[in-house]
């Protein structure tokens, strides 16, 4: 059990690639932190620095009150689950689970006991004597998890552990990882680029972009109150609709009073837009329908408002029917608007008395 503290962490790869830039993050004891961000934003790099697989160019990493910058991976008392599982192919499942314990000189009886316990928790008892190549993808994933929990480390590090599984198994394992982490109460850092995993697993969600942290918070907080244009567009699938304010003004649309000064872009979640006329509390934009994706429980409606150069996406409940080219009206509730600064792209707080 341990907290993890990152202070001013920087990583520069050879060739002057700055992968992590002066990053600060506190992870509380027992917390599950999920790192999300686009490909190449430095998630794996950060995780590998915590694990000790990459050197730290600058700053400090503490695990449970010990600065680990100079410690070997073995001495950091962490366990990692790799995307490709990295099971030792020449050892049986039991051998894989035992390896870390044996290296640490754990007594034989305790090894057997811990391996059996881990195998029971993960329901891999029937495969203990098999080699990894004789297992399905999902079973291998469980063994990789088993290898992590059997050592009872201070922290778990996961690098996209479910991305090689099919959708159904993935959602099943997601629930299981959540349950396991809660039961064991082990501090965890989890890297993913799956929105659903990020939203459902995280105690604390960290959105990264270009080696920097864009926003840290509870998942719902980040979804409902994104602090920057990047987070607004990145979180949610599809992400937030972003409209430049000049274009709206050119259309003569009546902007609500509470839009603060120096706002450059406004954002609106696809599920907040109403199709059809909806009254004075809305900005009404006439336009044409481009396409409809029927998901079943909801419909994604793609359209273009007259005079705007960007497509708008609307998440409409139930089944919405229509033909491309049909005239429709987008009604944007003023209360659901997110305002972003013209210069910095950061969120601007809408104040009722701004104007």
User: Which residues contact other proteins by CB under 8 A?
Assistant: 51-53, 72-74, 78-80, 82, 84, 86-90, 99-100, 103-104, 131, 147, 151
Select the residue interacting with ligand ATP from 4, 34, 44, 68 (CB under 6 A).
44
| Position 88 contacts ligand ATP (CB under 6 A) | no
Residue placing its CB nearer to other proteins in the complex, 59 or 73: 73
Residue placing its CB nearer to other proteins in the complex, 147 or 320: 147
Of 32-40, 165-173, 174-182, 214-222, the segment contacting ligand ATP by CB under 6 A is 32-40
Residues of this chain, 18-57, that bind Mg ion according to CB under 5 A = 44
Select the residue interacting with ligand ATP from 8, 40, 286, 324 (CB under 6 A).
40
Residue placing its CB nearer to other proteins in the complex, 80 or 135: 80
Residue 1 touches which of ligand ATP, other proteins, Mg ion, none (Cβ within 5-8 Å per kind): none
Residue 251: CA atoms inside 13 Å, Cβ hemisphere, count? 18
Phi, psi torsion values for 294, nearest 5 degrees: -95, 115
The residue assigned the tokens 């396991």 is 180
CB within 8 Å of 108: residues ≥ 6 apart: none
Distance set, CA 225 to CA 151, 271, 275 (Å): 39, 15, 23
Phi-psi region of 279 (alpha: psi -120 to 50; beta: other; left: phi over 0): left
Residue 101, SS3?
helix
Residue placing its CB nearer to other proteins in the complex, 26 or 92: 92
Residues of this chain, 151-210, that bind ligand ATP according to CB under 6 A = 193
Of 43-51, 60-68, 306-314, 318-326, the segment contacting ligand ATP by CB under 6 A is 43-51
Q: How many CB atoms lie within 10 A of CB 50?
A: 24
Residue 28 touches which of ligand ATP, Mg ion, other proteins, none (Cβ within 5-8 Å per kind): none
| Position 17 contacts ligand ATP (CB under 6 A) | yes
Alpha-carbon distance 48 to 81, whole Å?
11
| Position 263 contacts Mg ion (CB under 5 A) | no
Residue placing its CB nearer to other proteins in the complex, 104 or 346: 104
Whether residue 81 has a cis bond before it, omega within 30° of 0: no
Burial track 309-341 (b if 16+ CB lie within 10 A, e otherwise): eeebbbbbeeebebeeeeebbbbbbbebbbbbb
């Amino acid at each position: 059990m341990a907290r993890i503290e990152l202070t001013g962490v920087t990583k520069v790869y050879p060739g002057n690639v700055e992968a992590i830039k002066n990053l600060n993050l506190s992870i509380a004891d027992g917390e599950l932190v999920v790192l999300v961000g686009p490909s190449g934003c430095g998630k794996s790099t950060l995780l590998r620095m915590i694990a000790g697989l990459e050197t730290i160019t600058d700053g400090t990493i503490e695990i449970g009150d010990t600065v680990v910058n100079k410690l070997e991976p073995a001495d950091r008392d962490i366990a990692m689950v790799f995307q490709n599982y990295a099971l030792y192919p020449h050892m049986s499942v039991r051998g894989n689970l035992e390896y870390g314990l044996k290296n640490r000189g754990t007594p034989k009886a305790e090894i057997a006991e811990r391996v059996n316990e881990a195998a029971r928790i993960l329901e891999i008892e029937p495969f203990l004597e098999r080699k990894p190549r004789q297992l399905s993808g999902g079973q291998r994933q469980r063994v990789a998890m088993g290898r992590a929990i059997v050592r009872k480390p201070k922290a778990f590090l996961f690098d996209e552990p479910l991305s090689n599984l099919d959708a159904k198994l993935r959602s099943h394992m997601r629930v299981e990882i959540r349950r396991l982490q809660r039961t064991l109460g082990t501090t965890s850092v989890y890297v993913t680029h799956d929105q659903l995993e990020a939203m459902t697993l995280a105690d604390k969600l960290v959105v990264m972009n270009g080696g920097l942290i864009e926003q840290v918070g509870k998942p719902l907080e980040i979804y409902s109150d994104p602090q920057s244009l990047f987070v607004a567009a990145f979180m949610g699938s599809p992400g937030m609709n972003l409209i430049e304010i000049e274009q709206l003004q050119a259309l003569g649309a009546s902007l609500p009073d509470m839009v603060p000064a120096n706002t450059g872009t406004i954002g609106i979640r696809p599920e907040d837009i109403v199709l059809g006329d909806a009254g004075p509390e809305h900005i009404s934009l006439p336009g044409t329908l481009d396409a409809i994706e029927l998901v079943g429980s909801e419909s994604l409606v793609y359209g273009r408002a007259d005079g705007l150069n960007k497509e708008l996406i609307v998440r409409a409940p139930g089944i919405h029917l229509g033909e491309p080219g049909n005239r429709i009206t987008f009604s944007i509730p003023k209360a659901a608007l997110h305002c972003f600064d013209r210069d910095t792209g950061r969120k601007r707080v809408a104040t009722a008395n701004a104007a």
